[in-house]
Structure 1
């Protein structure tokens, strides 16, 4: 049905990690491997995206899951935010 939007609860959310002036690239890569369980290659690719583009979508899921991921990133000292996946503000 054209023009009908999905209920908010059905819209996937994303966690976006932002570049910051403090954390080393190696540390950001470590956090992605440690918390998300990503491979070295995936963690490095996402870290480079954060470094070069200023941000990277690092996880997708429900709003509650993404809020938990953001809190975890803050716990590691990284800058992060969650937003609906269809929000292209990070593109």
Structure 2
């Protein structure tokens, strides 16, 4: 009978560990379809931002072409991207540098 020994833990590459620890960003992009007040409404209703904060972010989207709305875990930001698509907004995610 052969005795199986546990394999030693694999030591991860330090760069990989650092990359896994970095937060993800939700980016909302400007588009020619949605009105500014609708984008502000989405930010208020979905994220719970105050009207003032939602308007700040909406103006950044409008003026700069995009805005980082929030950051967090990959799973949370993926969920936010899908939610923004559900509202008809263009959104993507990227990992922080």
TM range (shorter): 0.7 to 0.9
Question: What's the CA shift string for 1:18-75, capped at 9, x where partnerless?
Answer: 0001000000000000000001111000000000000000011001110000000000
Alignment coverage as a number of residue pairs: 83
CA distance, structure 2, for counterparts of residue 39 and residue 6 of structure 1: 37
Quick one: which of 13, 20, 25 aligns to 2:36?
25
The yes-or-no answer on 1:82 pairing with 2:93 is yes
**Which stretches in structure 2 are left out of the alignment for 5+ residues?**
1-13
- Structure 1 residue ranges (4+ consecutive) displaced by more than 4 angstroms after TM superposition: none
- The two structures have a TM-score, normalised by structure 2, of 0.81
**Structure 1 alignment gaps of length 5 or more:** 87-91
Paired with 2:21 and 2:74, the residues of 1 have a C-alpha distance of: 9
